Amino acid sequence: MFLKLKNQLLSLTILLPLCGLAGPFTIDVAFEAGMDEGYKSAFTNAVTFWETNITGYRAPANWGMNGITIDASVEYIDGQYGILGSAGPSYVTYGTTTLAGDSAASRVCYSTAGGMTFDSADVDMMIGNGTWEEVIRHEMAHVIGFGTLWGIDIGGNIYNDFYVDGSGEYTGAAGLAAYQAEFDPDATFVPVELGGGSGTANGHWDEVDGGAGLTGIATASGDDMRNELMTGWLNSPSFLSNTTLGQFYDLGYTVIPEPATVTMMAALAAGAFWIRRRISYMA
């Protein structure tokens, strides 16, 4: 099965020592010219959603981190159903530092800009069935770094070193601690999707391929992992797990709730690692 990949050159920002304080985490969406006005409010709501859950940076102030600019567009991808959207970072800032809350230095890579594209053939359907904002939240998370900046190789060094492509095992400390607390106390890793092909595999939490059934992995309140916001197939209504928030902590952000129990892609030259989201049902 061949699917269109949205590739965009991933440019690198060389980290320079800067004076001044790191700002709060903010997201600015730059809409493509002419985007339907009726599409836009869901983006604004999704920005509020992530700005509420991600509050700032664990990097030192002299990194100058203050948010992400995201280009948003609607264009034809693959027709009705199938791929709903794709997204990823286009610029990153990276370096080696001891993040607030950590006891040792690590290689850290942040997204500073990126893009999200949604399939023009699906947008009205998503608005109609109430999933439009959920899909935007999902794609926005990929721009922020979910699944796109795990274990990324820059110049032969691995940054955000808590996932190896093909392993299916996410080992970031905060994400794993949250997963143990809410889904599986015996887990030694968070299961990562390996199905769905390039753009789905290695970039989402694991679920039954195609989003076809319950995983049997659920929170105490009965939320099955199938419906978690950051699995590869859309099942609505979705929920945001603390595991996903912990994952953002692992990426170097401060999040709400602050993890309490933390103790302690592919070659960049090939282009950006854009992530697709698929819909779990076919017409």
User: Which region, judged by CB under 5 A, interacts with Zn ion, from 35-43, 46-54, 176-184, 274-282?
Assistant: 274-282
Residue closer to Zn ion (CB basis): 6 or 58: 6
Kindly tell me which of 137 and 277 has the beta carbon lying closer to Zn ion: 277
Interface stretch with Zn ion, choices 20-28, 45-53, 156-164, 272-280 (CB under 5 A): 272-280
Q: What backbone torsions phi and psi does residue 108 show, to the nearest 5 degrees?
A: -125, 140
Minimal distance in Å, beta carbon 136 to Zn ion? 12
Min dist CB 267 to Zn ion, Å, is 21
Which residue has its beta carbon closest to Zn ion?
277
Length of the chain: 283
Comparing CA positions, the residue from 249, 252, 15 lying closest to residue 110 is 252
Contact 59/65 with Cβ under 8 angstroms?
Answer: yes
**Cα-flanking dihedrals φ and ψ of residue 196, to 5°?**
90, -5
The number of angstroms, rounded, from the C-alpha of 5 to the middle of its chain's C-alpha atoms is 17
Measured torsion, CA atoms of residues 221, 225, 230, 234, in degrees rounded to the nearest 10 = -110
Q: Which two tokens stand for residue 33?
A: 């010219």
Interacting residue with Zn ion among 176, 277, 279, 280 (CB under 5 A): 277
Distance CA 201, CA 148 (A): 11
Q: Hey, what are 46's tokens?
A: 């999704």
**Comparison of 16 and 281: residue with beta carbon closer to Zn ion:** 281
Asked if 278 interacts with Zn ion (CB under 5 A), we say: no
User: Where does this chain touch Zn ion (CB under 5 A) — which range of 37-45, 77-85, 205-213, 269-277?
Assistant: 269-277
Which range touches Zn ion (CB under 5 A), out of 237-245, 248-256, 259-267, 275-283? 275-283
Burial 111-140 (b: 16+ CB within 10 A, else e): bbbbbbbbbebbbebbeeeebbbbbbbbbb
d(CA 1, CA 280): 16
Question: Cβ 235 to Zn ion, closest distance in Å?
Answer: 13
| Distance of closest approach, residue 127 Cβ to Zn ion, in angstroms | 19
Query: Residue 197 CB, nearest distance to Zn ion (Å)?
Result: 12
At position 216, the amino acid (one-letter code) is G
Q: 114: part of which helix (H) or strand (E)?
A: strand 106-119
Instruction: Give min distance, CB of 142 to Zn ion, in A.
Output: 5
Q: Which range touches Zn ion (CB under 5 A), out of 128-136, 173-181, 218-226, 267-275?
A: 267-275
Give me the least distance between CB of 277 and Zn ion, in Å please: 4
DSSP-based three-state secondary structure for 190: strand
The footprint of Zn ion on this chain (CB under 5 A) covers a number of residues equal to 2
Nearer to Zn ion, 192 or 275 (CB): 275
Does 275 sit near Zn ion (CB under 5 A)? yes
Tell me, residue by residue from 216 to 255, as one string, x for binding to Zn ion by CB under 5 A and - for no binding: ----------------------------------------
Q: Could you give the CA distance from residue 56 to residue 42 in angstroms, rounded to a whole number? A: 22
* Residues of the shown chain interacting with Zn ion in the complex, contacts defined by CB under 5 A: 275, 277
